[in-house]
Structure 1
Amino acid sequence: MSTTDRTDQRPVTGPAGGRPAPAASPVRPPAAVGWAYAMVIVATLAAIASNVFEIAHQVETGAAGAATTGDLALTIAFCALFGFFAEMLRAGRQWGRVLLTVFTALGLVFTGLGLAGLGGRPLVGPLQASLAVTSLVPSVIGLVLLFVPSVNAWMAEVRGNGRMITQRLRKLVLTCHVAISVGWLGLVTGMFAMSVAGATTGDAEQQAAMYRTMSLLDEIFLGMTSMFALITGIVVGAGTKWGLLRRRWVAVKFWWTMGVMVLGFSVIHQLILEANELVAAGAPVRGGELDSVGWAMAGSAFVALASLVAMTTISTYKPWGLTRRGRAATHTARAAAPAGR
């Protein structure tokens, strides 16, 4: 979702075209922003409590391991990130609102999958299910409040006053986005290769080693890299005047990235767990259920790999021009520009 267009670096000038115009006075946020902020905090705390409960359950049952370390790291990261996004929302940053929206929506999807016992992360017991529901309700309320008319008008006014990330910060975030995306592509490439090796080998030990390694990469690294690739891409897009949904190639990458993340969580992760359970149960290497799971895992990994390669190609060629929203924004900006410029 990175954008490599050059931003407009012309200085803002005063009426005489000389010294820069004074910065606009801060615009007071509407009450809905405060309520949305409170709902985000409540939902985040409930989600963190749910994750902590799951980690404690893993420790108590002796299932703690690399997955537990990954869960703990993700819990800490989400705690810090949601707090940061909420503060950026109160500061009027459009990309803060976008990130809160995206991760709240993903949280709703993943919690729904957990409540349904899908996606390899079923919720453990009534307490964790109650915490998940407690997180869902304020999440929905906060998500609605983020887009009421008063908040939309306030965000537009603040954005018009230049609340964007600086060029220096943009280059830093873009560098991080490219590096993390390369790491994500490398991880998925390796997992595809291992899934094919596991599905074609006749050696039980080699197959078990492939699936254990895939589980390790999935639990510790894959979720983290995909999450931060999405975050940095959104900041680079929504944090600049180019916008997140104003150019078709950026919008396509945005939705496609979330689709690959959902595929990884709800399909690939589940298949890796099933493959390792079958290996542990002594299932035959060829000709049984492990065959079907192995090839399904290889096919899903190929879809994820092909998607990431396609998104890299889109980033390079930047096709398709402006979206309808982008054309409307451009028309509005030209209409508001002083004559003769």
Structure 2
Amino acid sequence: MSTTDQTERRPVPEARRGRPEPAEASGPAAATAPPAGPPTGIRWAYVMVIVATLAAIASNVFEIAHQVDTGVAGAATTGDLVLTIAFCALFGFFAEMLRAGRQWGRVLLTVFTSLGILFTGLGLAGIGGRPLVGPLQGTLAVVSLVASVAGLVLLFVPSVNRWMAAVRGQSRTIPQRLRKAVLTAHVAISVGWLGLVTGMFAMSVAGATTSSAEQQAAMYRTMSMLDEIFLGMTSMFALITGIVVGAGTKWGLLQRRWVAVKFFMTMGVMLLGFSVIHQLILKANELVDAEAPVRGGELDTVGWSMAGSAALALLSLVFMTAVSTYKPWGPTRWGRKGSPRAGSSRADSRRGGSSRADSSRAGSSRATG
């Protein structure tokens, strides 16, 4: 038998080309079993999140008590109380999901801790939102801010990143029933948010164009009521449910461009409402109470600024609705890294390279024979 016949009948290279390499099939992450429990960084991050949440809740309770004592408590105070209870439950739930190794729990904690740091910092600086009442509330705000920063850093230390990567495969997505329930809530709340902003835009235009002081005062007071009771709560829960639907499902929060655009635009509209529209509504009501002239004065500037800001928020929400419907664009670089196609193409290229090398060796063997 010649060397050429032996080479042609040898089945080993074909079998190797048909089977994936053991290292490609398993990988280092699959070879290493997940740790039995969360690392120390997770435990301390959990503690910091709880401390920051309790400090923020205590600060809010003191503010509500101040409103009751001064006789200014009303429907807005009830809204604050509902938000306080909801945030207490949500942050506790997110912290428990973090300890269970849920990636979407860490994402939610990261987003809302960052928002808490931003809003607390703005409150301490006196730039936006409600002013802090007394040194006790200021101290609680500082405690919440420091604990939030510490917890946010601990969420991404190397030991936490390794542990989350080890358990990610078995706990990345939320259950199907919960996904459908959260998606239903997200759509309903988002529709309500869009309706509120549409109504506030219409009222701001009516207030900026009317010549009747009574009608203008009615428009701005109604806007203040909607802003205090419904707008902040609706936008916040639209963001929460949207993040759960994105981070806890196959779409991911930053793996598709359309989801990432919606996420950042939602936070942008929330910041626009908190730092611009809310302040303009307060200013408009102060001027109305001071009996400022309806036309030709500062109320004109405030009214049209409010109408322009509401129009920007409305257009942004309509754009996000269209993005949710059409789902344009492709994956982000994080989505491409985790894509099965990317992994299979890399594996195919490696197999193709080994096949070409085997063919080259076979050809040289034939030439030698």
Which whole-Å deviations, capped at 9, do the CAs of 1:228-267 have from their partners, x for residues lacking one?
Answer: 1111111111112321100000001101101111111111
Which residue of 2 is the match for residue 47 of structure 1? 56
| SS at structure 2 position matched to 1:119 | coil
Partner of 1:114: 123
Q: Please report how far the alpha carbon of residue 169 of structure 1 lies from its aligned counterpart in structure 2 after TM superposition.
A: 1.6
Q: Which amino acid in 2 is paired with 1:258?
A: M
Preserved contact between residue 123 and residue 130 of structure 2 (Cα < 8 Å): yes
| 2:64 maps to 1:92 | no
Residues 237-256 of structure 1: matches in 2 within 5 Å? 237-256=246-265
Q: What's the offset of the Cα at 1:157?
A: 1.9
Which runs of no fewer than 5 residues in structure 1 stay unpaired? 1-23
Q: Which residue of 1 aligns with 2:137?
A: 128
Distance in 1 (CA, whole Å) between partners of 2:284 and 2:134 is: 24
Q: 2:102, 2:172 within 8 Å by CA — same for their partners in 1? A: yes
Kept in 2, the 8 Å contact 1:27–1:158? The answer is no
Question: How many Å apart are 1:27 and its aligned residue?
Answer: 4.2
- Whether 1:64 and 2:101 are equivalent positions in the alignment is no
SS in 1 for 2:291: coil
The aligned counterpart of 1:322 is: 331
Matches within 5 A, 1:187-206: 187-206=196-215
Deviates more, 1:55-64 or 1:186-195: 55-64
Q: Is the 8 A contact 2:46 2:99 kept in 1?
A: yes
Contact 1:113/1:122 (CA < 8 Å) preserved in 2?
no
* Displacement after TM superposition at 1:170 (Å): 1.1
Q: Which amino acid aligns with 1:37?
A: Y
Conserved 8 A contact 1:116-1:122: no
Structure 2 residue 322 is the aligned partner of structure 1 residue 298: no
Which residue of the other structure, out of 187, 190, 204, is the alignment partner of 1:178? 187
The alpha carbon displacement at 1:151 in A equals 1.1
Of 116, 122, 147 in structure 1, the residue corresponding to residue 156 of structure 2 is 147
Deviating above 3 A after TM superposition, structure 1's stretches of 4 or more consecutive aligned residues are: 24-27, 335-340
Aligned residues of 2:224 and 2:281 also touching (Cα < 8 A): yes
Which residue in the other structure is 1:30 paired with? 39
Structure 2 distance, partners of 1:319, 1:163, is 24
Cα distance in 2 for partners of 1:337, 1:165 equals 29
* Aligned residue pair count: 317
CA contact (8 A) 2:207 2:220 kept: yes
Q: Deviations over 1:322-341 (max 9, x none)?
A: 0011111115873599999x
In 2, Cα distance between the equivalents of 1:113 and 1:63? 23
State the Cα distance separating 1:118 from its structure 2 match: 2.0
Instruction: Provide the residue aligned with 1:308 in structure 2.
Output: 317
Instruction: Answer whether contact 1:43 1:135 (CA < 8 A) is retained.
Output: yes
1:207 equivalent in alignment to 2:180: no
The structural deviation recorded for 1:163 is 4.0
- Give the letter for the 2:71 counterpart: G
2:204 and 2:220 in contact (8 A); partners too: yes
Q: Deviations over 1:198-245 (max 9, x none)?
A: 010000111111111111111111111111111111111111232110
Q: 1:332 to 1:318 in 2, by over 3 A?
A: closer
* Root mean square deviation of aligned Cα: 1.9
1:62 positional shift: 1.3
| Counterparts of residues 14-25 of structure 1 (less than 5 Å) | none
Letter in 1 for 2:247: A
How far, CA to CA, are the matches of 2:170 and 2:341 in structure 1?
15
- Give the 3-state SS of the residue equivalent to 1:287 in structure 2: coil
The Cα of 1:128 is off from its aligned counterpart by 1.1
Does structure 2 retain, via aligned residues, the 8 Å contact 1:120–1:273? no
> In the aligned structure 2, how far is the partner of 1:280 from the partner of 1:311?
37
Distance 2:150 2:255 in 1: 27
Farther off after superposition, 72-81 or 180-189: 72-81
Give SS of 2:339's match: helix
Q: What amino acid is the match of 1:272?
A: I
Structure with the greater alpha carbon radius of gyration: 2
- Distance, in Å, in 2 between the alignment partners of 1:208 and 1:269 is 16
**Structure 1 CA distance for aligned equivalents of residues 147 and 177 of structure 2:** 36
Q: Which residue of 1 aligns with 2:14?
A: none
**TM-score (normalizing by structure 1):** 0.89
Question: Are 2:57 and 2:88, in contact at CA under 8 Å, matched by a contact in 1?
Answer: yes
* SS of equivalent to 1:271: helix
- Give the Cα–Cα distance (whole angstroms) in 2 for the partners of residues 303 and 60 of structure 1: 38
Q: Letter of the aligned partner of 1:129 in structure 2?
A: G
Percent identity over the alignment?
Answer: 81
Q: Judge which range, 63-72 or 297-306, deviates more.
A: 63-72
Q: Does 1:273 align with 2:292?
A: no
